[in-house]
Chains A and B, each alone.
Chain A
Amino acid sequence: MAVDRRIFLQETGKFLILTGVASVAFEHVLAGTAEAAENYHLTDHWWAMAIDIDKCIGCGGCVRACKAENHVPLEPFYFRTWVERYHVKPEDMEHPEVDSPDGGYDGFPERYAQGDGTKNFFVPKLCNHCAHSPCVQVCPVGATFESPDGVVLVDKSYCLGCRYCVQACPYGCRFIDPRTNTVDKCTLCYHRITKGLTTACCEVCPMGARRLGDLKDPKDPIHAFLRDHKIQVLKPQMATGAKVYYNDLDGSVR
């Protein structure tokens, strides 16, 4: 029997379809079934944080609590959250003087004089848990990811330590943990918020300047916060879908 074009195309088509179906089915077998989580449902949450710059007093409580809770190395150049002080001359808003002594771990020694015509304020910073994270996009192995409940996390057992994400983050929120040589960053205290607690930084903030919010919970006060204030995210022009919402964020803040 000679194979004519019709039979050849038919058989090739069958082969392609069958292998396609088989590989999709195999993928499902490999993925297994979803683990049953007792009280916490990934799809019921979409985590965010609200920061009220008008309230921050630069005490550094959040920085200390974050390091204690998450065992961040104590050397003053590893931070999951830190506080910056801005010193802005109103006529030269483009060039603010920014400092962050030890990330604000021990507070801020006075550097500026009262009534010198400048604007001074603190800006707490942390991972913005972007919905379209540049850091996640560049990870070559899938070690960092956006969780289904809106938190950007790192799979430390899978990270190669290639540092692509450290460079990709426009907010400088990642560092290489010297103990493991893998990347480390704010987890939005994922081990706490999934147990019904707030983050360590929010727990200790004496001013209530930072508050964890669940955007999928209609009763969460974050909705009122976003509605009642003039809100901005950091670097909105980068379209990262940042979910750390600042009240009264000055235009000089980078």
Chain B
Amino acid sequence: MPALDKDKRHLYRLAVLFAAGILAFLGLRAVMVPKGFGRYGFFRAGALTDIRSLPISYAGRAACADCHSDIVDMRKGSLHAQIGCEACHGPLEAHAAAPDTTKPRLPNGRALCLGCHLENVAKPASFPQVDPKEHGDAGPCTSCHNPHHPEIS
């Protein structure tokens, strides 16, 4: 190849500069953009896995039913049948994972019952509501109502 023409040399210099610039850009981008960014969209794909791997606190009613089938049977046909166990008993994943060592606390009956059943004009009219001053004798609700099957027959 003959020696480069004088009027061509500056073009090659420019091309080399461009190539170096592009390489530097690509290299910097490879370092600065996190792995998996852009796989599903303008975000880091690994974030999905990070969020998915967070621990749960509520085991879900299916986990309760695995052992407590007697309570499931008791609740059948009652107005409380569709309520999740953990709505009253609190988060119980720890108990479901280690039933012998972690025991759930017994809910505070009266406060818990009134949490839903206290009279309030904003509640749907069809929902059973009580005025604790008039209903019962200020004793525990459970002396008349079984919370797993609250209807009095």
CB of B17 within 8 A of chain A?
Answer: no
Contact A190 B52 (CB under 8 A): yes
Contact A57 B127 (CB under 8 A): yes
The smallest C-beta distance from B23 to any residue of chain A, in angstroms, reads: 11
Complex alpha-carbon distance, A69 and B22, angstroms: 47
Contact B60 A147 (CB under 8 A): no
Give residues in A with beta carbon < 8 Å to B: 1, 3, 19, 23, 26-27, 30-32, 34-35, 40, 42, 54-61, 65, 68-69, 85-87, 107-108, 110, 112-114, 120-122, 142-148, 153-158, 187, 190-192, 194-195, 197-198, 200, 203-208
The smallest C-beta distance from A1 to any residue of chain B, in angstroms, reads: 7
What residues of chain A lie closer than 8 Å to B5, measured between beta carbons? 1
Complex alpha-carbon distance, A2 and B89, angstroms: 87
Contact A203 B36 (CB under 8 A): no
What is the size category of the interface that chain B forms with chain A? Answer: 35 or more
Contact B115 A107 (CB under 8 A): yes
Contact A31 B39 (CB under 8 A): yes
What residues of chain A lie closer than 8 Å to B39, measured between beta carbons? 31-32, 34
Contact A198 B60 (CB under 8 A): yes
Contact B87 A206 (CB under 8 A): yes
Contact B54 A191 (CB under 8 A): yes
The closest CB in chain A to the CB of B89 belongs to: A204
Complex alpha-carbon distance, A25 and B43, angstroms: 19
Contact B122 A194 (CB under 8 A): no
Complex alpha-carbon distance, A122 and B127, angstroms: 13
CB contact list, B1-27 vs A, under 8 A: 5, 8, 11, 22, 26
The closest CB in chain B to the CB of A86 belongs to: B122
What residues of chain A lie closer than 8 Å to B74, measured between beta carbons? none
What residues of chain A lie closer than 8 Å to B45, measured between beta carbons? 34-35
Known: A68-B90, A158-B34, A191-B51; 20 extra A-B contacts, CB below 8 A, are: A19-B22, A30-B33, A30-B38, A69-B56, A87-B122, A110-B120, A121-B122, A122-B122, A145-B47, A148-B40, A153-B51, A154-B47, A155-B50, A157-B44, A157-B50, A192-B58, A200-B91, A203-B87, A204-B84, A206-B84
Contact B83 A206 (CB under 8 A): yes
Residue of A30, A42, A157, A203 touching B84 (CB-CB under 8 A): A203
What residues of chain B lie closer than 8 Å to A113, measured between beta carbons? 121
What residues of chain A lie closer than 8 Å to B120, measured between beta carbons? 57-58, 108, 110
Q: Is the interface of A mostly helix, strand, loop or mixed?
A: loop
The 6 closest A-B pairs by CB, nearest first: A145-B43, A155-B47, A120-B122, A191-B54, A204-B87, A142-B42
CB of B57 within 8 A of chain A?
Answer: yes
Q: Which of A54, A143, A197, A208 has the most CB of B within 10 A?
A: A197
Complex alpha-carbon distance, A45 and B35, angstroms: 24
What residues of chain B lie closer than 8 Å to A69, measured between beta carbons? 56-58, 91
Complex alpha-carbon distance, A129 and B121, angstroms: 31
Residue of A30, A32, A58, A156 touching B123 (CB-CB under 8 A): A58
The closest CB in chain B to the CB of A195 belongs to: B56
Complex alpha-carbon distance, A203 and B29, angstroms: 44
CB of B53 within 8 A of chain A?
Answer: yes
CB of B116 within 8 A of chain A?
Answer: yes
Complex alpha-carbon distance, A155 and B50, angstroms: 8
Contact A112 B115 (CB under 8 A): no
What residues of chain A lie closer than 8 Å to B54, measured between beta carbons? 191
Complex alpha-carbon distance, A42 and B34, angstroms: 21
Contact B51 A204 (CB under 8 A): no
Contact A32 B36 (CB under 8 A): yes
Complex alpha-carbon distance, A85 and B89, angstroms: 26
CB of B41 within 8 A of chain A?
Answer: yes
Complex alpha-carbon distance, A203 and B60, angstroms: 7
What residues of chain B lie closer than 8 Å to A187, measured between beta carbons? 51
Q: Which of B11, B48, B87, B91 has the most CB of A within 10 A?
A: B48
